[in-house]
Chains A and B, each alone.
Chain A
Amino acid sequence: MSFFLWDFIKGVLIILTSANSFDRKLVFHVPDNAGLIWSEWEDASIVYDPRSGHTQVLNEFARELLALYEDGPKSLDQLLAEFSKIIDAEPDATTTQNIIETVAGFDNMGLIEPI
C-alpha cells in the first residue's frame, strides 16, 4: 500500500519529507470554515479546498484518515490509537510511517490545521 497525494495544480507528486519532525502531541482539525468539496470516483476521491483553491487527489486510505479528522480534533497519537481500534490491531511500522507521512501531507496542504 502506498499513500500519496497529488497536487493537481502543479501536477507533481508531493514527496512528504517533514514526517520525521512531526509533532505527535499537536492537536489538528479540519477547520469549520474549510467547506471542502468532494468528487468521488471508484478509484479515488478528489477534494477541492475553497480556501486555498487547491485540488488534491486522495486514495481510499488517505480519504479515511481525513474523515477521522472531520469527525473531530485530534493529535497524531490519538489518531493512531483510533486507527488501531478500527483495524483491531497495532499497525505495523510501515503503516504507522505511512500514516504519519499522510498526516504531514494534510498539514502541508492546509487540509488540517493545528488548533
Chain B
Amino acid sequence: MPPTSLFHKTDNLINFTDQQLDARLASGGAQLEIGPFTVNVALKFKNIRDEFIRIYRDYPFYDNPVVLDNSIRIFGRNLYRQYIKPQAFVDVGMNSDFIPLPASMGMVSLEMGLNWQVASACKQYLMFHAGVVAKDGVGLVMPAMSGSGKSTLAAGLSYRGWQLHSDEFGLLDMESGELVPYPRAVSLKNQSITVMKDWVGQVSDNADEYFTSEYHGTPKGTICYLRPPKESIELMHKRTKPNVVILPIYDAGAKPAIRPITKTMAFFRMVMSSANYGDIGEDAFRAISDIINASDVCEIIYPSLDDAVSLVEEFVAKKASEIKAGGDHG
C-alpha cells in the first residue's frame, strides 16, 4: 500500500479556531490537507479569508512544517492593489502568469489557482475530468465535459449518502487501482446554484452556511462554491476501486433513461476526459483498460437532479448487490 493514503502520524494536525486560522492565512499561510495533497495557503485579503474559512474550516491543518505539494499565495502587488482598488494576484509557484482578478471575486481566484496546480502538475495520479463518488464499495466515475451537469450530479449524490471524491478531479492511484478522494469545494455555475441550494436545504436546516457568496460576471457566468458534506471530508483518505462508469447527459426536455454504451466508447470517454493520460502513457492505458474491464458502463440522460440520482441508484444496484454477495473478504 502506498504510504500516502495515511495521515502522517508524527506531524501535528491541529484544530484552529477561526481567529487562529485567519491569523495564519494572513501571515505565512496555513498548511491545508485536501485528499492526497497538502498545500500552503496564504491570503492577504480579508474577504477571501472569510470565504475560505467557511468552506475549509473542517479540513485537516498541520502545525509543524510538512512537505508540501504546492503553495498558493493571493495578494495585492502593491498598496494600491491591496487596499484601494483591490486586485488579487495569484502566485502558484510555477512560473505561470495568472491574470489577476478583482479581489471581490474572492474564492474564484483561489479555487482557480488550486485547479491550475493540480491540472498542470499532477502526474502521479491518473486524472479524469469527472465527477467521482463512492458508496459501499461502489466506485462511480462520471466523465463529462463542462456544462454536462456532472458537478451538480456528484454534489447532489454526496448530499444523499454518497462519499464525494471530487466534482471534477477524479484521481486514480495506478499502483493500487483505487480512486483517491480529492473533496474540494464544489464549483456551481448559474442555474445549478439554485438547484443545489434547494437540494441541500431539503436535508439541512442551515443550508446557507454550506455556500459561499455568489460571484457574478466571471467568464463562466455566476459561480458559487459549496462545501462538501462533513462525512466526505472525514473520509478523504478512504479509497475505493472504480467499478461503474456513467456518462451523464443533462437535457431539460428529455425523458429520463439509462442507455447502453460499448466498453470501447466508455474507454474512449475516459481517455478523452483525462488531462494527463498522454504524459503518463502506458500505465495510464493499462489503468483505464482495467477500469473498463471491471466496470458496468452506461449513459444516462436526465431532465432533473432528482431523475439523475434515481437513474444512478438504479444502475449501480446490480454492482452493489454483487459486492454485497462477494462478502466481507473483498
Contacts and interface: CB of A to CB of B under 8 A. Distances in A.
Task: Indicate if A touches B (C-beta under 8 A).
Answer: yes
A37 B286 contact: yes
What DSSP secondary structure best describes chain B's contact surface? helix
A79 to B, nearest CB: 25
B278 A42 contact: no
Given A48-B285, A53-B278, A55-B285, A41 B263 contact: yes
Give the one of B264, B282, B286 with max A CB within 10 A. B264
B272 A8 contact: yes
Contacts of A53: 278, 281
A57 B286 CA distance: 15
Interface string B250-273: 000000000000111001100110
A37 B282 contact: yes
Contact of A41 (B264, B271, B277, B286): B264
Contacts of A39: 267, 285, 289, 292-293
Interface of A: 6, 8-9, 11, 37, 39, 41-44, 46, 48, 50, 53, 55, 57
A50 to B, nearest CB: 5
B296 to A, nearest CB: 14
A55 B264 CA distance: 12
B262 A8 contact: no
Closest 8 CB pairs of A and B: A48-B285, A39-B289, A41-B263, A44-B264, A43-B262, A53-B281, A8-B271, A41-B264
A46 B267 contact: yes
B262 A37 contact: no
Contacts of B268: 6, 8, 11, 57
A53 B280 CA distance: 9
Contacts of B281: 48, 50, 53
A72 to B, nearest CB: 26
Interface of B: 262-264, 267-268, 271-272, 277-278, 281-282, 285-286, 289, 292-293
Contact of B262 (A41, A48, A55): A41
10 contacts: A8-B268, A11-B268, A37-B286, A39-B267, A39-B289, A41-B264, A42-B262, A43-B262, A46-B289, A55-B285
A62 B257 CA distance: 34
A50 B278 CA distance: 11
Contacts of B272: 8, 11
A8 B292 CA distance: 16
A55 B278 CA distance: 9
B267 A48 contact: no
A41 to B, nearest CB: 4
Contacts of A55: 271, 277, 285
Given A41-B262, A43-B262, A57-B264, A48 B282 contact: yes
B222 to A, nearest CB: 30
Contact of A42 (B263, B282, B285, B289): B263
Contacts of A9: 278
Contacts of A46: 264, 267, 289
Nearest to A8: B271
B285 A37 contact: yes
B297 to A, nearest CB: 10
Nearest to B289: A39
A41 B267 contact: yes
B6 to A, nearest CB: 32
Contacts of A41: 262-264, 267, 292
Nearest to B286: A37
A55 B268 CA distance: 10
B294 to A, nearest CB: 13
Contacts of A6: 268
B291 to A, nearest CB: 11
Highest count of chain A CB atoms <10 Å: which of B271, B272, B277, B285: B285
Contacts of A43: 262-264
A7 to B, nearest CB: 11
Contacts of A37: 282, 285-286
A57 B267 CA distance: 10
A9 B280 CA distance: 12
